[in-house]
Structure 1
Amino acid sequence: MPGRCYRGKLSVWAGLCVLVLCWFYIFPVYRVPSDKEIVEEVLRQRGVWHKNQTGIELYRKLLTDCCNPRRMFAVTKENSPLGKVLWYDGEFYYSHTVNNETYPLFVQGNPLKFPLKKCAVVGNSGILRRSKCGRHIDQADFIMRCNLPPLSKDYVADVGNRTHLVTANPSIIEKRFQNLLWSRKAFVDSMKVYGPSYIYMPAFSMKPCTDLSLRAHYALADSASNLTMLFANPEFLSSVSKFWKAHSVHARRLSTGLYLISLALGLCEEVTAYGFWPFSVGLDEQPVSHHYYDNILPYKWFHAMPEEFVQLWQLHKSGTLRMRVGQCPP
């Protein structure tokens, strides 16, 4: 009897050890610097940036090898023919088989015109307020924005008004436009501010995203909008997630901004990021709102934005990516 109890205890301890090892594999011990440490680091480095062409080419190769953004960033007729199974990257048990309803909605191939020289990726952090970065952003050759941000005259001086690609999280369609079930006019009218750009939606990331994304596509198509809907390829999103996990970014899901920066690093000759600052205090040690247009915080455990920022700042210091933090020069 004692021997049996001893073996039972051993098996319990072995099981606990396995659980602990699995936990540390998924959530490894990693200390993100405090807000104060980040501010001090950025203040030391922000005025010094030298373009590193070797680093840029290396990162473009790394992202091409792992994720092939030029071919795979969007679902197209070329990479997703009829009958192909698209496995959702956010819900691994669900998939969508390309059929006669969805196939005609895909663009033929990558619609972007290369080369993409100077690209700007614009996040939505409150650090953009009074930054006077609008003219710098608008001078880029290709401008990407996150999650349908407002570009009204109140914000133009800080964020610019030109757009070439803007992401649309389906949750925004759900909350701001009531799932497009009652009226589509408000949605269509609000999209006009982005001009003849691409709307980039994760239609095949989670099951609820599919209907919302298709509804948004039909709303624009039926109104003869000059915007083009692109559906994010779940294979691309999944491979980008794995890439950053190998670079110490551990989150349930990467932020939209990091997906866009990854896309830009894989496609563009030079990338500048604006509005990426996930901390509650700015360089002047004053409070910073989460967005330049509101202070609605994300779900705490969904993203790991401070970890993302640390990795992006390392790329800034190496000259691979330029991050504009705080005010832009006149």
Structure 2
Amino acid sequence: MLVRCYRGKLSVWAALCVLVLCWFYIFPVYRLPRDKEIVEEVLRQGEDWQRNQTGIDLYRFLLTDCCDPQRMFAVTKENSPMGKVLWYDGEFYHSHTVNNETYSLFVQVGSHIIICSNNLKGKPTAIRILSSSFRCNLPPLSKEYVDDVGTRTHLVTANPSIIEKRFQNLLWSRKEFVDSMKVYGSSYIYMPAFSMKPGTDPSLRAYYALADSSSNLTMLFANPEFLRTVGKFWKARGVHAKRLSTGLFLVSLALGLCEEVTAYGFWPFSVGLDEQPISHHYYDNILPYKWFHAMPEEFVQLWHLHKSGTLRMKVGSCPPQEGKS
């Protein structure tokens, strides 16, 4: 009887310890600066920025070591052969076994997708994305925004939830989706088809909609292993959220591959540098799901890298540049 009680008390204490550890993991003991404090910090820093090659090299090494963005950024025929089990990074109990249907949709490494040609010369097995205009979540590039955001695009991400909400999951008509994608020219479309189970079918339908219309766009599926390891990388550096934002995934990719990285428009706060209210996106004010992303934490980490010269963040107005889009 005494032994049983002792074991019972041990079990209760063990359970309490686990709960406390989980609480601190999800809600770490530190205070994130308020929006106003961050604005004041950015204003103090000003426009001064000095490139730090040591920091750039360090982060490229760290991200290559943990996440191998050059090889694992997207699902390819090389890193995901027939029969491989792709475990969803957003839902650990779901997986997809690569079969004839999905394998045929994956890109061949030899087709060289890319990102930063200056860093990847002489690396014939690299996934490439030449030069570098990345955009997140199918942003509009209509004429009222061109002066601020330009039109040049090499890679654009598409969240499956956008396919669901904006294009009715492509169940009734594909024309609106196909027509809206023409603005991105011959870019790569990057979708997390194997991140969460509900996103798989919409992603595959988007692939077929573009393929059937002879679109110039190329579909890339995010590799869930890459997303998982990048998530762990930033969690170890103070970003605690259920999932990283698409922007931080792309910044991580660029840091792992490129000679120099500049992030534009990553400002997840309710007021601008003039302390006036601003919208969440340049085209709408739809906020991310509460508790899903931790964008202020992401900004703080990226701002540390900006101050150290590892990457550059443009958070104010950009001066017009003649002849460039």
Q: Deviations over 1:103-145 (max 9, x none)?
A: 1111111723564349xxxxxxxxxxxxxxxxxxxxx931000
Matches within 5 A, 1:169-318: 169-318=159-308
Q: Which residue number in structure 1 is paired with residue 319 of structure 2?
A: 329
Deviation at 1:5, TM superposition (A): 8.2
Question: Letter of the aligned partner of 2:184 in structure 1?
Answer: Y
Greater relative contact order (CA < 8 Å, ≥ 6 in sequence): 1
Question: Letter of the aligned partner of 1:111 in structure 2?
Answer: H
Q: Which residue number in structure 1 is paired with residue 138 of structure 2?
A: 148
Q: Percent identity?
A: 83
The residue matched to 2:100 in structure 1 has which SS?
A: coil
Q: Deviations over 1:227-281 (max 9, x none)?
A: 0000000000000000000110010000000001001111111110001011101
Q: Deviations over 1:135-181 (max 9, x none)?
A: xxxxx931000000000010011111010000000000000000001
The whole-number CA distance in structure 2 between the counterparts of 1:275 and 1:175 is 24
Question: Letter of the aligned partner of 2:277 in structure 1?
Answer: P
Q: Could you tell me whether the CA contact under 8 Å between 1:87 and 1:94 is conserved in 2?
A: yes
The whole-number CA distance in structure 1 between the counterparts of 2:141 and 2:147 is 10
Distance 1:282 1:172, change over 3 A: same
Q: Deviations over 1:1-35 (max 9, x none)?
A: 99998986676455323311232134321211111
Q: Deviations over 1:73-106 (max 9, x none)?
A: 0000011111111000011011111100011111
The residue matched to 1:323 in structure 2 has which SS?
A: strand
Q: Which residue number in structure 1 is paired with residue 23 of structure 2?
A: 23
Q: Which residue number in structure 1 is paired with residue 56 of structure 2?
A: 56
The whole-number CA distance in structure 1 between the counterparts of 2:284 and 2:173 is 25
Residue range with higher mean Cα deviation, 6-15 or 33-42: 6-15
Distance 1:9 1:93, change over 3 A: closer
The residue matched to 1:229 in structure 2 has which SS?
A: strand
The residue matched to 1:154 in structure 2 has which SS?
A: helix
CA RMSD of aligned residues (A): 2.1
The whole-number CA distance in structure 1 between the counterparts of 2:85 and 2:4 is 50
Q: Could you tell me whether the CA contact under 8 Å between 1:201 and 1:232 is conserved in 2?
A: yes
Q: Which residue number in structure 2 is paired with residue 111 of structure 1?
A: 112
The aligned length equals 309
Q: TM-score, normalization: structure 2?
A: 0.90
Question: Letter of the aligned partner of 2:185 in structure 1?
Answer: G
